[in-house]
Structure 1
Amino acid sequence: MEWQVWLGIIAIVIGVLALAVAVGAWSQQAWMRRREGRRAVPQSVPAARQIAVVVNPSKLHASGLPAQVRAHCAANGLPEPLWYETTVDDPGKGQARQALDDGADIVIAAGGDGTVRAVAETMVTSDKPMGVLPVGTGNLLARNLELPLTNMDEALDVILAGRTRAIDVGWLRVMEFADTPRNDEHPNQPDHEPDTDREHIFLVIAGLGFDAAMVATADSDLKKKVGWVAYFVAGLSHMQARRMRATLQLDDDPPVDARARSIMVGNCGMLPGGVTLLPDAVLDDGVLDVAAVDVRGGVLGWAQLTLEIAMQGVGVRNELPEKLGRIDHTKARRARIRVPAGEEAQVDGDPLGRAVEVDVRVQPGALLVRAP
């Protein structure tokens, strides 16, 4: 009977996850309907403005973009757009630099979250804005900027006729990696050697623990078929993992010990499906939101946590002190997290490997973006 019990448990969890996604999707669709009702009619941009596009050619919808962008520029009296394709060796940082050197006034990142991160890493050093065309799986920044996700013409309208907004960026440095080799159980682990000298930019959420383990083990083929749902499927295999022991230091406060499934540091908080993980996070408030996610009590704890995430997305908070599944929120400009046993780390859905200690900081107002 043991396998039947576990089958029932898995069915319950999947059902709860489906409820969370449905509630989140409903709230996001309602918001989109409200926003569409007040969206301004696009105005033409000055003819002197030069658009450049850094595109990830591997993305499913990227093949038709050149003609669409050219037509949109021509309709607005703009010159022929500059075009640059990312490569395995350079996911967008060098291409963005070349676009700026070639005289671009706006550099558009057309790809997934990895492409957006790479382009943003160059753009933080410039006084030019970045645009986003969401053609990836998660499209995390696009969601949090309230950009159109399915209509490229509307997304281009925002880039050409929207406003320029200065937003914060986060930076994560892995201070110490766990001494564990890459293996087949973590197919998405980076192929490069661990680098403790490099800071990794993130625009949405960085994390240690359960969330990063989902990213590291998500099936690439399944992602192509069902998108971000593949992360939830990967998460099922990590639900029985032990809670991690962590030491967390925020700004100049004394370090505190914690037990958690994940510790996440976010610049904004909306995830795919309209799920809001960090309801108080704001893109331009100069601070990062820190969330310690913990679950006890097995499947009941996970069910409670999932419902709590779904309900906080529609503005309902559960303030009961004793909960099997809980998220504790706070804010800081800098966070140092140490996990002696080592845990998976990620930035905006890109796995970094198993880390023992990370240092995270905010750079306020560092990135100019085109937004509604």
Structure 2
Amino acid sequence: MVWVIVLSVVALLLAIVALTLTVTIARHLGRRDPLAVPRFWRRTLRITPAVPGPAGGALTGDAERRAQVAFVVNPTKDGTAELRERAMRACAIRYLPEPMWLHTTEADPGTGQARDAIEAGADVVVAVGGDGTVRAVAEALAGEDVAMGIIPLGTGNLFARNLDLPLTDTGALLRTVLEGAEARVDVGWLDVERAFPGHGDDGSHLFLVMAGAGIDAEMVAGADPVLKKRLGWLAYFFAAVEHLGDKRIKATVAVDDGEGVETEMRTVLLANAGKLPGGLQLIPDASVSDGELDIATLDARGGLVGWTELFGSVVAQGAGIKQTELLRTWRTSRIDHRRGRSVTIEMENPQRVQVDGESLGRAQRIHGRIQPGALLIRVPVGTHP
């Protein structure tokens, strides 16, 4: 019995010695090269990368904590080779480590690469591409303490527009992802239920700007790739024209735990943000940091007259002019708006569904919900999303 106690004591002493050696070595490495220390020990021992400053001193604050940057890049976008050179130079002149450069694939548009970057010790993960790449990277970073940067190279660049990023100024974009301010923003989730067989699958999908069902989703699915490359976001409007004569949608909309309301509409939108290309404010009150979804149902009757009136209402909203109940009585279009943390939409017939410009096929029931403050984002200094 005595030898069991002796062995237990010896094992305990050996464990203490091993732990002491591990901590000592980790701290020693941390003073020389913090990024050589495994991420677990860096967090446990509070080792932060102190990179040399221009005068040979150590940078502090955000620069000290955000030393390792990873770029998740859609290689099909024009200009990525030049961007890589500029990113390398931008990191070098700030005495930051060489950035990671990870390409997306057709099978994985960015989520897996972003997770790999986090595992490799990245403190900032930058999405380089269109809205699809941004959404995929955000899916990996939602709920993490790792910041996300954006360098938009897509057609719509919806999320970047709503963050007021300088879309065409690469230098300013690099400054933002490397030394910008940080803010927490909400993300939305769309749960697709009762997907139409052969036209989509059930599941949860993250969105940063808008999800919807109806003509907006038809517009997304029908946009011609060649026109998108030549005309940009205007290609979506040409796709919408083909569906102006579609039947109105009959649906029941239930916000939070409230009773469902039956309605007829052309489209329903679940918005985390409200700005569209061309300066249009589809849902002016939507905010990426208010912890709520903005639910808008849009309807138009009377053919071209109703659609023209609806477009005029959207433009007027951007100027701060909203419909009144008296005017609605005489109008051939309407925009109804509600807010909540979640919404369930049951449609009489399967309708096409989209999230941030990606078609998800057709479904008869969708459920939207908000995840407040889930994403840490790099924004220009002085801006507040």
Contact 2:213/2:353 (8 A) holds in 1: yes
**What is residue 328 of structure 2 aligned with on the other side?**
321
1:67 is aligned to 2:74: no
Q: What is the SS of the residue equivalent to 1:131?
A: strand
Q: How does 1:354-365 map to 2 (within 5 A)?
A: 354-365=362-373
Deviation at 1:47, TM superposition (A): 8.6
**What is residue 256 of structure 1 aligned with on the other side?**
261
Q: Which amino acid aligns with 2:211?
A: A
Aligned-partner Cα distance in 2 for 1:327–1:152 = 37
Q: List per-residue Cα deviations over 1:72-98 (Å, max 9, x = no partner).
A: 112222111100000000000000011
Deviation at 1:307, TM superposition (A): 1.2
**What is residue 112 of structure 1 aligned with on the other side?**
130
Deviation at 1:308, TM superposition (A): 1.2
**What is residue 338 of structure 1 aligned with on the other side?**
346
Contact 1:50/1:81 (8 A) holds in 2: yes
Deviation at 1:62, TM superposition (A): 2.4
Q: What is the SS of the residue equivalent to 1:49?
A: coil
Change (3 A) 1:293 1:74: same
Q: How does 1:289-308 map to 2 (within 5 A)?
A: 289-308=294-313
**What is residue 266 of structure 1 aligned with on the other side?**
271
Aligned-partner Cα distance in 2 for 1:244–1:108 = 39
Q: Which amino acid aligns with 1:340?
A: E
Deviation at 1:63, TM superposition (A): 3.1
1:97 is aligned to 2:105: no
Contact 1:261/1:293 (8 A) holds in 2: yes
Aligned-partner Cα distance in 2 for 1:270–1:72 = 30
1:150 is aligned to 2:155: no
Aligned-partner Cα distance in 1 for 2:374–2:96 = 27
Q: List per-residue Cα deviations over 1:313-342 (Å, max 9, x = no partner).
A: 122223222221221111011111111211
Contact 2:68/2:122 (8 A) holds in 1: yes
Aligned-partner Cα distance in 1 for 2:66–2:148 = 17
TM, length-normalised to structure 2: 0.80
Q: How does 1:37-186 map to 2 (within 5 A)?
A: 45-46=63-64, 49-179=67-197, 181=198
Q: Which moved more, 1:212-221 or 1:47-56?
A: 47-56
**What is residue 243 of structure 1 aligned with on the other side?**
248
1:219 is aligned to 2:224: yes
Deviation at 1:44, TM superposition (A): 9.2
**What is residue 195 of structure 1 aligned with on the other side?**
201
1:207 to 200, 209, 212: 212
Contact 1:47/1:79 (8 A) holds in 2: no
TM, length-normalised to structure 1: 0.83
**What is residue 18 of structure 1 aligned with on the other side?**
none
Deviation at 1:46, TM superposition (A): 3.8
Percent identity over the alignment? 47
Q: What is the SS of the residue equivalent to 1:60?
A: coil
**What is residue 4 of structure 1 aligned with on the other side?**
none
Q: Which amino acid aligns with 1:173?
A: D
Q: Which amino acid aligns with 1:160?
A: L
- Pick the structure with greater CA Rg: 2
Deviation at 1:220, TM superposition (A): 1.0
Q: Which amino acid aligns with 1:338?
A: E
**Structure 2: stretches of 5+ with no match in the other structure:** 1-60, 381-385
Aligned-partner Cα distance in 2 for 1:152–1:280 = 29
Q: List per-residue Cα deviations over 1:231-273 (Å, max 9, x = no partner).
A: 0000000001111101111101001101000000000000111
Change (3 A) 1:77 1:210: same
Change (3 A) 1:300 1:101: same
Deviation at 1:178, TM superposition (A): 2.2
Q: Which amino acid aligns with 1:214?
A: M
Contact 1:48/1:79 (8 A) holds in 2: no
Q: What is the SS of the residue equivalent to 1:73?
A: helix
Change (3 A) 1:328 1:73: same
Q: Which amino acid aligns with 2:165?
A: L
Q: Which amino acid aligns with 1:321?
A: R
Q: What is the SS of the residue equivalent to 2:206?
A: strand
Aligned-partner Cα distance in 1 for 2:236–2:159 = 18
Q: Which amino acid aligns with 2:365?
A: E
Aligned-partner Cα distance in 1 for 2:65–2:255 = 48
Q: What is the SS of the residue equivalent to 1:63?
A: helix
Q: More relative contact order in 1 or in 2 (CA 8 Å, sep 6+)? A: 1
Output the aligned Cα RMSD.
1.5
Change (3 A) 1:310 1:61: farther
1:349 to 354, 357, 368: 357
Aligned-partner Cα distance in 2 for 1:171–1:310 = 28
Deviation at 1:48, TM superposition (A): 6.2
Aligned-partner Cα distance in 2 for 1:61–1:326 = 42
Aligned-partner Cα distance in 1 for 2:337–2:119 = 42
